[in-house]
């Protein structure tokens, strides 16, 4: 086996998804703690003096205690090289999460034990199902009062339409939470409390048949556990690695990320149940990292100004095959020319380290002089294939935006264009009015706050946002259409994108159908083309 193949085999690349506040960022930190990548966990919602979560790096995230951009974190654990894609939990930033899921081989779904499946989990889960990627469930916050365990499993199966297989089972919850029962080994794993997050707690393993168990558990806990296990053995799906790999069966684990309960058990099982980087779809068929020797990658995220001092742009790419060497020249398929990949780095949130090498499965950041777009393919393969595109989602909220100080037009245009290239917002212009006003479209309204904040802090530009009533946008597929002769509805507005392509905005959904009926041959599309 070649050294490159050997390195790729060690890689595990996964995304962590959840509803806000389910404890996803805390779980990510504990993984890093076990991998020795950090010595002390941060706290997203601690006092102003407390360390902020490692994976939340943008100032607005620290102020609000929510993740608004995806972070990439890499660490080593027991011979594996693990790339974690930590995604925003808030639904207003779900578009960033959709794109990030395109770069992952599997997903870890974090669920709050007191709440079960929540709206955002449902939405993101559907993207995982669409991609047929393995989904692992970590039911968190067992150190607080939790819902009935069978109810939680039932909730996942009904809400998400996936079978579950508990690998372990909780013993109590809240103050009575003692640990978990490992079903395969018939062992009870008892945890010592490490609430401060500075060290890793002791795990005591005892056979469930050992008499010592009676002294270690609260009165009645052992009988209750045995009853539940008997019920579980008759009711739950059996573990089947093939179904897990196809995304049809989710292994379930219980624990508390805050106190380290069950985190290491989960990490070790997860690594044994996931595979090394998988083949990816391209216009030349499946590209298998175990067979394709040449370097290939695709850009799934662009982030400007991660470092205020440098005013830089980083293109995040998922390496799909081969070996990356710092400063190497590769073919940029969409640009149709060779480019040098300079200043390659790996991330620990906002901390970066320059790297010399990376392999299939890794996520790296490359300095972007303004030539890359989301979805671009880079390769050294003589075939010059391109990986399947990343969908753009139709914005649902619109606002007219203008700068307060007209003398700052140049900074305003530069800033809003750079933020749009990252994919967080989409920008449009008035159609045929000659006006220079810009219309911004976003998937979630919080993106407006981020836009305002970033223009002020990164480009020193104050803006005024005027909310517009439109909720629906449609791209016009007909290239030969005379837009001036289009018969619309009273709630319709004509706009154009930055490439001059015409679009229509509507207040009411029924107006879309009416406009199509009034204009024979008109073809409207919900998705934008890159």
Architecture per CATH, domain 397-525, reads as 2-Layer Sandwich (3.30)
The bridge status of strand 438-442 relative to strand 351-354 is unpaired
Q: Where are the domains of the chain?
A: 13-71+90-273, 280-379, 397-525
Specify the range with the lowest mean pLDDT, choosing from 29-38, 207-216, 250-259, 354-363. 29-38
Q: Taking residues 25-41, what's their average pLDDT?
A: 76
Which DSSP string do the residues of 483-498 spell out, in sequence order? GGG----TTEEEEEET
The 10s digit of each residue's pLDDT in 390-411 is: 766 678 899 999 889 989 989 9
The model's pTM: 0.75
pLDDT at 491 over 80: yes
The residue with greater pLDDT, 293 or 314, is 293
The 10s digit of each residue's pLDDT in 330-359 is: 999 998 999 998 877 765 545 667 788 999
Superfamily holding 280-379: Translation factors (2.40.30.10)
The 10s digit of each residue's pLDDT in 222-277 is: 889 989 999 988 877 889 999 999 999 999 999 999 888 889 899 999 999 998 99
pLDDT at 479 over 90: no
pLDDT at 137 over 90: yes
pLDDT at 429 over 50: yes
What proportion of the chain, given as a percentage, has pLDDT over 90?
Answer: 35
pLDDT band at 94 (very low <50, low <70, confident <90, very high): low
Which of 390, 376, 359 is closest to 294 using CA atoms? 359
- Helix/strand/coil percentages in the chain, nearest 5: 25, 30, 45
User: 13-71+90-273: which CATH topology?
Assistant: Rossmann fold (3.40.50)
What distance in Å separates the CA atoms of residue 126 and residue 391, rounded to the nearest whole number?
14
What proportion of the chain, given as a percentage, has pLDDT over 70?
Answer: 83
Contact between 448 and 459 under an 8 Å Cβ cutoff? The reply is no
Contact between 93 and 449 under an 8 Å Cβ cutoff? The reply is no
Q: What is the mean pLDDT of the chain?
A: 82
pLDDT band at 361 (very low <50, low <70, confident <90, very high): very high
pLDDT band at 435 (very low <50, low <70, confident <90, very high): low
What distance in Å separates the CA atoms of residue 378 and residue 481, rounded to the nearest whole number?
35
The residue with greater pLDDT, 370 or 144, is 144
The residue with greater pLDDT, 276 or 56, is 276
Q: What is the pLDDT of residue 66?
A: 42
The 10s digit of each residue's pLDDT in 164-174 is: 999 999 998 88
Which range scores top for mean pLDDT: 27-31, 201-205, 234-238, 338-342?
A: 338-342
What distance in Å separates the CA atoms of residue 159 and residue 122, rounded to the nearest whole number?
7
pLDDT at 41 over 60: no
Q: What is the pLDDT of residue 95?
A: 62
Using the structure block, give the residue that is written with the tokens 């062992």.
187
Q: Taking residues 119-131, what's their average pLDDT?
A: 72
pLDDT at 59 over 70: no
Q: What is the pLDDT of residue 331?
A: 96
Q: How many CB atoms lie within 10 A of CB 73?
A: 25
The 10s digit of each residue's pLDDT in 64-88 is: 444 434 467 888 899 999 988 876 5
The residue with greater pLDDT, 445 or 10, is 10
Q: What is the pLDDT of residue 336?
A: 92
Q: Taking residues 295-322, what's their average pLDDT?
A: 79
* φ, ψ (nearest 5 deg) of residue 458: -100, -25
The 10s digit of each residue's pLDDT in 439-464 is: 999 877 877 888 888 888 888 999 99
Specify the range with the lowest mean pLDDT, choosing from 37-46, 101-110, 447-456, 472-481. 37-46
> Exposed e or buried b for every residue in 295-329, given b needs 16+ CB within 10 A?
bbbbbbbbbbbbeeeeebbbbbbbbbbbbbeeeee
pLDDT at 125 over 70: yes
């Amino acid at each position: 086996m070649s050294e490159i193949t050997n390195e790729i085999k060690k890689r595990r690349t996964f995304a962590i998804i959840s509803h806000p506040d389910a404890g996803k960022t805390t779980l990510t930190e504990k993984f890093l703690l076990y991998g020795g990548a950090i010595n002390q966990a941060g706290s997203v919602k601690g006092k102003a003096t407390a360390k902020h979560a490692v994976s939340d790096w943008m100032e607005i995230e620290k102020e609000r205690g929510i993740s608004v951009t995806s972070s990439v974190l890499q660490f080593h654990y027991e011979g594996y090289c693990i790339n974690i894609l930590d995604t925003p939990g808030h639904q207003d930033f779900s578009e960033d999460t959709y794109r990030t899921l395109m770069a992952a081989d599997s997903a870890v779904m974090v669920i709050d034990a007191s709440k079960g499946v929540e709206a955002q989990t449902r939405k993101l889960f559907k993207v995982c199902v669409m991609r047929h990627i393995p989904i692992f469930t970590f039911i968190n916050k067992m150190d607080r009062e939790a819902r009935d365990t069978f109810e939680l499993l039932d909730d996942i199966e009904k809400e998400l339409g996936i079978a579950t297989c508990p690998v372990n089972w909780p013993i109590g919850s809240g103050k009575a939470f003692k640990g978990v029962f490992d079903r395969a080994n018939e062992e009870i794993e008892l945890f010592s409390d490490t609430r401060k997050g500075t060290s890793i707690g002791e795990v005591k393993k005892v056979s469930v048949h050992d008499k010592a168990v009676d002294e270690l558990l609260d009165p009645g806990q052992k009988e209750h556990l045995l009853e539940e296990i008997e019920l579980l053995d008759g009711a739950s799906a059996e573990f089947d690695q093939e179904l897990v790999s196809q995304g049809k069966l989710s292994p379930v684990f219980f624990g508390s990320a805050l106190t380290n309960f069950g985190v290491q058990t989960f990490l070790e099982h997860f690594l044994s149940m996931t595979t090394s980087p998988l083949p990816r779809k391209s216009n030349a068929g499946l590209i298998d990292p175990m067979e394709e020797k040449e370097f290939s990658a695709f850009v799934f995220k662009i982030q400007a100004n991660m470092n205020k001092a440098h005013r830089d742009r980083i293109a995040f790419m998922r390496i799909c095959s081969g070996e990356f060497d710092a400063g190497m020249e590769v073919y940029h398929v969409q640009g149709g020319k060779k480019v040098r990949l300079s200043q390659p780095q790996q991330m620990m949130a906002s901390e970066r380290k320059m790297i010399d090498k990376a392999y299939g499965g890794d996520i790296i950041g490359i300095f972007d002089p303004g030539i890359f777009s989301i979805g671009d393919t880079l390769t050294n393969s003589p075939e010059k294939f391109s990986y399947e595109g990343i969908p753009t989602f139709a914005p649902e909220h619109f606002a007219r935006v203008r700068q307060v100080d007209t003398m700052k037009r140049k900074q305003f245009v530069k800033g809003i264009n750079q933020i749009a290239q990252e994919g967080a917002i989409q920008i449009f212009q008035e159609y045929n009015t000659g006006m220079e006003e810009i219309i911004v479209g976003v998937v979630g309204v919080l993106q407006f706050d981020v836009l305002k904040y970033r223009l002020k802090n990164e480009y020193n530009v104050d803006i005024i946002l005027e909310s517009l009533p439109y909720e629906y946008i449609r791209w016009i597929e007909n290239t030969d259409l005379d837009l001036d002769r289009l018969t619309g509805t009273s709630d319709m507005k004509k706009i154009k994108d930055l490439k001059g392509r015409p679009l229509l905005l509507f207040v009411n959904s029924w107006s879309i159908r009416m406009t199509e009926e009034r204009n024979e041959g008109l073809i409207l599309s919900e998705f934008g083309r890159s």
